[in-house]
Each structure stands twice: as C-alpha cells, then as structure tokens.
Structure 1
Amino acid sequence: MIKNIKSLLLIAVLLSTTVFFAQGKATIVVAANLKTAMDSIAKVYKQKNPADNIQITYGASGKFYEQIANGAPFDVFFSADMAFPVKLKETHFGISTVKLYAIGRLAIWSKKLDPNSQKMNSLLDPKVKKISIANPTTAPYGAKAVESMKRTKIYKSVKSNLVYGENIAQAAQFVAFGAAEIGIIALSDALSPAMKKERGKYYMIPQEYHAPLEQGCVVLKHGKGNPAASRFYDYISSDKAVAILDYYGYSQKKK
C-alpha cells in the first residue's frame, strides 16, 4: 500500500513538472544596465515564442550572484560581467557554457553641464557637488566607473562627492531626477527613451580607461531541463537580439 502511494506521488510530481515546462515558464535575472535593451528583446522574443512565460527581474549582478549561490530558484542569469557567471559555473550552480553576449560602455551624463567640453574633468567642475555611480562592490559598472576615475587620476579629488545607486539603473535615476549634478552611467541608459526625455548630455568614456565591460550569461542549475530557459539563453545570440543590443550601444567584440 505504502509503495503504491509513493508511486502515485512520484507520478504526480512528474506530471506537474511536465505541465510546468510545457507552459514555458522561465525566471530570468538580468543586470540593471540591460533593462531598456532586454525589455525590447523580451518583447520580440514573445512574438516568436508566444507560449513562453518569461519573467525578468533586474538588479545588481553581485546581489544576484549571492542569491543564486544561496539557492535562489532562478533559471538564467545575465550578468554585467563574466566573473560572476564563471564562478557559478565553477561551483556547479551554472550548467551551460558561460557565453559572452555583450560588451558595455560607460558614459558621463548630466543636465547641469555638457560633459563633452571637459570630458572626465567634468567631474571636477565646481558646480558638481554630487556624482552618481553604481555601488562598486556589487555592480560591475560601478567598479569600472571607479577604475576609469583612478586611471585619469581624479578619483581622490571626487571621492567625497560620490553617491551610490544600488545598481547602475538607480545611479541613472539619481542624476536624471536631480539627486546628483552628474553621473557615470551605462551608455545604454544614456541612449534610452527615458533619459532622452530628460534632455541631458553625455560623454562616452573611452574603453581604454577601464577593463572591458564583458557581460556573460549562463543557464543555472534550477533551469536544467527547462526548454524556455534554454530558448531565451540561445535567443540572446540571435540576429534580432544582437541588433537591439547594438542599438543601445553594446557590441559583441572588443574594439
């Protein structure tokens, strides 16, 4: 009798799992710098795969890494760097190849002044009291912002003026809504419709001022055997997805 009950329970679990995957549900966590581009990619993907239920959450890559390493039930991780997905692969939380899907860029953005006139030295302008960047501890874009300031030897002069967003999207919000006079944000945010409405100006920080912002993705252990997770992971390399990434300032090769 007990054996029969166990068999029935096993069948029920298998059937529920089959139904879950048949519905095409996948939980995707994505670095905040990608929000505008990924929203567009997800919309196009949905047109091609209408049965898939893709649930996307945006945030800081470092925080997602910690959550995944502690067993969070995410299926695919799109990081703002390669290091976090590689670590997850090494510790068996990642099950696919760690794929380089984009190389990001940084930009200095402001509504108060034109950063193209003084470039990196815009951060030293007397009118600037607060400089918005992402938290360099948890956000790769914040770490590269600090690196670029150190490379140009202005970090010590501006360190006391820095205000930190939890992620790069929040850093962009700080400067867009006046909590800071200037900020170092993702180029993709500077090119987004929301930031364009704010009528600010931006200067693209040269890539040689920091290590490349190579962004990687990986299918996670929780996504094993989930076709929707695999489909979305593969779709980021499609011509349409690459075209959207390119539109928002990302590239797939070092320049």
Structure 2
Amino acid sequence: MRRLHEFLAFCCLIVLTLAPLRAATASEITIAAASDLKFALQEIVSNFQAAHKGDKVDVIYGSSGKLQTQIREGAPFDIFFSADIAYARALRKDGFAATEPTPYAVGRIVLWSATRDAAKMRLEDLADPKIGKIAIANPAHAPYGRCAEQVLRAAGLWDKVKDKLVFGENISQATQYAETGAADVALTALSIALSKQVADRGGYSLIPETLHSRLEQAYVVTRQGADKALAKTFLDYLKTGQSQTIMIKFGFAPPGQAAR
C-alpha cells in the first residue's frame, strides 16, 4: 500500500511538472479581421494550423471601424487586419499598435444578386422600380460601405436609391441580406462573391475602381500582441506563396499591384 501511495505521488509530481511545459510550448493568438477576409483567411489559418500543431489562431470578423474601436477599448486582439489602411494608421499613431501598418491587399467591390443576373447589370439598373432593396455595409464604420456610397454618388444614383438602402453592420451581413431575400442586390466585396458558399447562390459584376477610393488594406500587430512570437510567425506565413495564392484566388490584388 505504501508503495502504491508513493507511485501515485510520483505520477502527480510528473503531471504537475509537465503541465507548465505544455502551456509554455503551446501558443495562442486572436486576430481581428475585416469581414471581407473571412473566406480567404479561414483557408490560410486552416493551412497554418495544420503545419503548427498545438498552436491556436482564433479570428474575430467584423467591420474595420468597429474592430478598431474595440482595440482602443482594450479588446484582447493581437493582430488587426483592416479593410482600410487608415484605421491601422490611426491605431499606430495613437499608440495602440506595436508595428507600422503593413499593406497586405487591395480589395474590389461588386454588384451581387441571388435573384437577378448581376453579371449583366449596370449601376443604372439600381434605380429600376423593380429593385426594391439594395444592401450595403454601413458607411459609418465599414470601408466597403463607404466605397459603396461613393459609387452611388459618383454614378448620380444616391438620391434615387437612398430610400431603398438597407445597411449591414459589415460587408458579410450586407451580402447575407441579398442571399436571404431581404435585399434584391448587394454592393459587396469581390472576395465574398468569389467564395464557393456565395458563388453557388448568385453572380456578380465588377464596379469600376474609378468610382470609389482605393481599398488599400493593411495589418498591424497590437500592443497586446507585441511580444507574441506566434503573431510574427503567422504574419510571416501570410507572405508565403501558398498564402498569397489563396489571397489572389479570392480576388485580392497584392500590395503595389493593380486590383483585378
């Protein structure tokens, strides 16, 4: 009996000794990412974690403006992927980011519909009385929503369609409105329109870049993520050919290149 107690005590000692070692070797980061990245980043993170067993990467998606506000209020995010480089610059300027903004992609905006042949649609068609609701992301805090407003104003359509607009909290929600029938058409991100989940349900047409400001996107490491080696490891992985191929597949142009 005494030997049994000694053996159990030894086992407990081993467990207590190894537990901190396991905690020390496993790493975890949380990323705040603009919603237009959802499908591309899901694939990249999945590949990354397959090659980094034991490490964990969580991603929270939302509008860039709201995510920026949450970081300022102390949200536990280690990396911030913004759909507008201006939000990343502001965080750095105000001391909430540990790195300078690094551009990672240029986005595009499209007309998308599940009920109409969007590939043949023109912007002028949005004024057609047969189109009841038009979904866009909220321009107040979503870069794609701001660009959608710029497009409608530049095309001389804003006053004609403003009463038809329904606003999503982010670009993903705006797309969902058009997917579910709450809107007839959405002005959404090309990266979302190209995802299998959305492409199988509708079509799209590209909106000329000349009608809106350039969707230059950038990331920063936050103050919280400054000392996390996994944050740097993940961002290095983002620059690999495999990751860049995924970004291009979802319609993102590499920094410094013309958008698709």
* TM-score, scaled relative to structure 1: 0.89
* 1:219 matched residue in structure 2: 221
Q: In structure 2, what is the Cα distance between the partners aligned to 1:124 and 1:108?
A: 14
User: Per-residue deviation at 1:21?
Assistant: 5.9
**Among 186, 190, 204, which residue is 1:187 paired with?**
190
User: Per-residue deviation at 1:197?
Assistant: 2.3
Q: Does 1:112 align with 2:115?
A: yes
User: Per-residue deviation at 1:127?
Assistant: 1.2
**2:92 maps to amino acid:** K
Q: Does 1:233 align with 2:235?
A: yes
User: Per-residue deviation at 1:113?
Assistant: 2.0
CA 1:192–1:232 in 2, change beyond 3 Å: closer, same or farther? same
Task: Work out whether residues 33 and 169 of structure 1, in 8 Å CA contact, stay in contact via their aligned partners in 2.
Answer: yes
* 1:42 matched residue in structure 2: 45
Q: Does 1:171 align with 2:174?
A: yes
* 1:251 matched residue in structure 2: 253
Any stretches of 5+ residues in structure 2 without a counterpart?
1-18
User: Per-residue deviation at 1:49?
Assistant: 1.7
**2:72 maps to amino acid:** A
Deviations 1:73-131 (A, max 9, x none): 21000011101110111111111121100100001011232233341112112211100
CA 1:31–1:20 in 2, change beyond 3 Å: closer, same or farther? farther
Q: In structure 1, what is the Cα distance between the partners aligned to 2:170 and 2:26?
A: 32
Q: In structure 2, what is the Cα distance between the partners aligned to 1:202 and 1:171?
A: 14
**1:115 maps to amino acid:** A
* TM-score, scaled relative to structure 2: 0.88
Q: Which runs of 4+ in 1 moved over 4 A?
A: 16-21
Task: Work out whether residues 62 and 170 of structure 2, in 8 Å CA contact, stay in contact via their aligned partners in 1.
Answer: yes
User: Per-residue deviation at 1:71?
Assistant: 1.5
Q: In structure 2, what is the Cα distance between the partners aligned to 1:46 and 1:177?
A: 33
User: Per-residue deviation at 1:34?
Assistant: 0.6
CA 1:59–1:21 in 2, change beyond 3 Å: closer, same or farther? farther
Task: Work out whether residues 89 and 100 of structure 2, in 8 Å CA contact, stay in contact via their aligned partners in 1.
Answer: no
Give the 3-state SS of the residue equivalent to 1:43 in structure 2: helix
* 1:137 matched residue in structure 2: 140
CA 1:124–1:115 in 2, change beyond 3 Å: closer, same or farther? farther
Where do 1:70-81 residues align within 5 Å?
Answer: 70-81=73-84
Where do 1:16-55 residues align within 5 Å?
Answer: 22-55=25-58
Give the 3-state SS of the residue equivalent to 1:129 in structure 2: coil
Deviations 1:146-204 (A, max 9, x none): 11111111111111100001100000110011000111011111111111221x22111
Give the 3-state SS of the residue equivalent to 1:180 in structure 2: coil
Q: Which has the larger radius of gyration?
A: 2
CA 1:98–1:21 in 2, change beyond 3 Å: closer, same or farther? farther
Deviations 1:48-71 (A, max 9, x none): 222321011111111111111112
**1:233 maps to amino acid:** L
Q: In structure 2, what is the Cα distance between the partners aligned to 1:186 and 1:72?
A: 26
Where do 1:195-210 residues align within 5 Å?
Answer: 195-198=198-201, 200-210=202-212
Q: Does 1:58 align with 2:61?
A: yes
Give the 3-state SS of the residue equivalent to 2:122 in structure 1: helix
**2:53 maps to amino acid:** P
Q: In structure 1, what is the Cα distance between the partners aligned to 2:250 and 2:24?
A: 32
Question: What's the Cα RMSD here?
Answer: 1.7
Alignment coverage as a number of residue pairs: 239
